[in-house]
Amino acid sequence: MENSRVLLELDAMSMFFGGVQAVRNMSFTIMENELAGIIGPNGAGKTTVFNVISSVYSPTSGCIWFREQDITLLMAYQVNRLGIARTFQNLRLFGRSSALENVMTAMQNRYRYSFRETLRGHLSPSYRPDPAYHYSFVESLLHLGRWDGVEKHIRAKSMELLERVGLADRMFQAAGTLPYGMQRRLEIARALALDPKLLLLDEPAAGMNPEEVFALNDLITGIHREFKLTTLVIEHHMDVIMEICPHIICMNFGAKIAEGTPEEIQNDPEVLNAYLGGEEAENA
Ligand SMILES: Nc1ncnc2c1ncn2[C@@H]1O[C@H](COP(=O)(O)OP(=O)(O)OP(=O)(O)O)[C@@H](O)[C@H]1O
Ligand SMILES: [Mg+2]
């Protein structure tokens, strides 16, 4: 396979909150360009894994590697800047701002980083020649000159993203008044605005009806393909993840209990016991 480079690696990561062992000794590897999933019953530790990867918390022990860099002790904004973007299980939109403003704000943050990067960037051979980055340090500080062009660029790019997630006709609607399923799509557009290398989606299908879930699966697989974006999805509906993720990690009580293809996961006795058994009991 062409995607043979490791993008993300968790090495024996544990996260305790006081006496609660939210995640225990978690190790896994995500290759570049993968679409992988994490499943597990309520309280299994899935969101905590995302919180540690995105540096909301530093783990109690263990390491996180991203593109061969140890990111364990970095701050959330630094990890973000390296190219890890996420959505939240509990939506974090600006409810009174329009859908467009929500995406633009996320994208503006990315361009603001470039103020500092501009100086450093001109000295670096790996400087990315994005046209919007080509304004001087002084101009960027004062928001003069090219900034106007940058704003236009951000607006156009944000509109493109909204179109991509199927919200073109809701651009000017206040985010808080959008139907729930659309708010989830807007969160995805906000994450994409950061132009990430790794996208973390925390239960993107939560609260959606089956039709919306179907369209969402299409969106996630479509984005993954088009943007060649490595994506890690948390979901606790087994059938959703089975359909879209060729690589699945299953957690229970903070630990990884299985990892493999949908077929392997589906037939794993521990998964059936811990996960499906729990769900069947719940639905009984
Ligand atoms: N900030 C925190 N402080 C204390 N305990 C926490 C904190 N975050 C998570 N936990 C605990 O860690 C465990 C794992 O929680 P987590 O939210 O990671 O589970 P989850 O798999 O995402 O569950 P769900 O499917 O309900 O979203 C739970 O027992 C939870 O109560
Ligand atoms: Mg969760």
pLDDT in tens, the chain (284 residues): 454 799 999 999 999 999 999 999 999 999 999 999 999 988 999 999 999 999 999 999 999 999 999 999 999 989 998 999 999 988 889 999 999 999 999 998 777 655 555 555 555 555 444 444 444 455 555 555 556 677 888 999 999 999 999 999 999 999 999 999 999 999 999 999 999 999 999 999 988 888 899 999 999 999 999 999 999 999 977 777 889 999 999 999 999 999 999 999 989 999 988 766 655 445 44
Pairing of strands 84-86, 6-17: unpaired
Cα(218) to centroid of ligand 1, in Å?
28
Ligand 1 atom with least separation from CA of 48: 18
Whole-angstrom Cα distance, residue 88 to residue 69? 24
Do residues 57 and 50 make contact, with C-beta atoms less than 8 angstroms apart? Answer: no
User: For residues 37 and 15, what is the distance between their CA atoms, to the nearest angstrom?
Assistant: 20
Nearest residue (by CA) to ligand 1, atom 18, is 45
Tokens 């089975």: give the residue: 242
In degrees rounded to 5, what are phi and psi of residue 5? -95, 135
Q: Which CATH number fits domain 1-83+196-284: 3.40.1080.10, 3.40.225.10, 2.60.120.10, 3.40.50.300?
A: 3.40.50.300
Domain boundaries, the chain: 1-83+196-284, 95-195
How many other β-carbons are positioned within 10 Å of the β-carbon of residue 150? 22
CA 219 to centroid of ligand 2, rounded, Å: 21
Query: pTM to 2 decimals?
Result: 0.87
